Structure 1
């Protein structure tokens, strides 16, 4: 009985992710674009070898269902094929496109990263896992959720993070991210860069892998 319930739950989550991907893929994409420079990653949460020859950047939003789907479906493949092998490092840049809840999530993440960078990625993944899979437009990103994620996934006191959010202690970091969003023409989340190349379709792993392989060859 337990196995049956687990199977049904897993199938349901898989269906939700598939629907999100199908909905995202309906958006018009620009052609793959090449910029003069890779988005600046200094001061941003980054995982992987610091001397890796290649940089992958995600412009993402904690309120974005497509970002959650990308993190579940595409990122693990990139991690296995390139990050874990020391060929790439991965950076996340806050892109608060969904109003105040998005800004709250970004401010919370910036607070955690500044106070306990070693705990950032556990908090990052934990917060994405809290998305409301049944109602993508619900305001699920509350102080209560943030407090729970801080207490569960970091060594920090949740009240300190909530205080940072209230005081907008890391507004400068969010403003800097928004400058990069404008500079690199980011209009949808997730938007993925491989070095200075903006990927046309972030859910097309073949395109991503081909671009990575070309960048590594060069």
Structure 2
């Protein structure tokens, strides 16, 4: 291979890496902006439009066979959710807010929810996330997700999510094959899936949970249901206008 060709490929590779880095920096800036809005009590939905949102919208996988997602793969709005099963604010969202969004938007074909295991609070968070992934391999992710949050501890890493408890919750969630569940929980595939989600979140600037992307627009924390509704409605309207 000629030196000229090698140099050309190297330049293209560096250009690609620079583009990825630029997107990551824009994404981090977007989350930091929303973090500042949260601290100042300024409504995040009213934040100035950021050029990173279009890039962040690409985080949606829209895989029709994704067991950790619910709603139509071609729904006009996708909410990517970065969450930890030991996070108390994640529990508030999962038990108080998310069911309303499911009834109002997912069930009507407007919204798709895609879960990302942002397991950042230690070993029990990682085990719970692997267990949820394992339940998903048998089509029971969302039932297991609810069982985990219903039994989420007040304090992190205090023994609430032992292996025995995680298996017991699999029974509660209706996971049919417990031997397969245990094997999947301990599999390299489960570890890789959880780590990939964590890496994705870190790469775009997520440093707390829960964090959300609604068609690319970030929302941080278990905000009031009105904020989620306003953001979903705006995203649905924008998607409709774009396709008309």
Query: TM-score, normalised to structure 1's length?
Result: 0.77
1:73 aligns with 2:85: no
In the TM superposition, residue 205 of structure 1 has moved relative to its aligned partner by 2.5
Report the more deviating stretch, 43-52 or 119-128.
Answer: 43-52
Q: Distance in 2 between matches of 1:206 and 1:151?
A: 35
- Who is 1:13 aligned against? none
Secondary structure class of the residue paired with 2:123: helix
Match of 2:7 in 1: none
Which stretch shifts more, 175-184 or 151-160? 151-160
The alignment status of 1:30 with 2:36, answered yes or no, reads yes
SS in structure 1 opposite 2:120?
coil
Which secondary structure state, in structure 2, belongs to the residue aligned with residue 192 of structure 1? Answer: strand
Supply the distance in 2 between the matched residues of 1:49 and 1:132 (Cα, whole angstroms): 32
In 2 relative to 1, CA 136–183 (structure 1 residues): closer, same or farther, beyond 3 Å? closer
Q: Tell me by how many angstroms 1:137 deviates.
A: 5.4
Alignment of 1:5-84 (within 5 A): 29-31=35-37, 32=44, 34-35=52-53, 36-38=55-57, 39-41=59-61, 42=63, 43=66, 45-84=68-107
Matched, 1:202 2:225: no
3-state DSSP class of the match of 1:51? coil
Residues 136/177 of structure 1: CA separation in 2 closer, same or farther (3 Å cut): closer
Native 8 Å contact 1:29 1:201 kept in 2: no
Uncovered stretches (5+) of structure 2, i.e. residues with no partner: 1-33, 38-43, 45-49, 239-244
Rg larger in structure: 2
Q: Which is further off, 81-90 or 97-106?
A: 81-90
3-state SS, counterpart of residue 207 of structure 2: coil
Query: In structure 2, how many angstroms separate the alpha carbons of the residues matched to 1:215 and 1:91?
Result: 16
Is the 8 Å Cα contact of residues 48 and 84 (structure 1) preserved in structure 2?
yes
Deviations 1:90-143 (A, max 9, x none): 1111010111101101111111212x12x221111111111134x455230111
Cα distance change of structure 1 residues 150 and 184 upon mapping to structure 2, 3 Å threshold: same
Q: Which runs of 4+ in 1 moved over 6 A?
A: none
Is this contact kept in 1: 2:134–2:190, CA < 8 A?
A: yes
Q: CA deviation at 1:213?
A: 1.6
Number of corresponding residues = 188
Consecutive unaligned residues in structure 1, runs of 5 or more:
1-27
- Take 2:144 and 2:221, find their aligned partners in 1: how far apart are those partners? 27
Query: 1:82, CA displacement in angstroms?
Result: 1.2
Distance 1:79 1:146 in 2: 25
> Does residue 150 of structure 1 match 2:170?
yes
RMSD of aligned Cα (Å): 2.1
- Would you say the 8 A contact 1:192–1:198 is kept in 2? yes
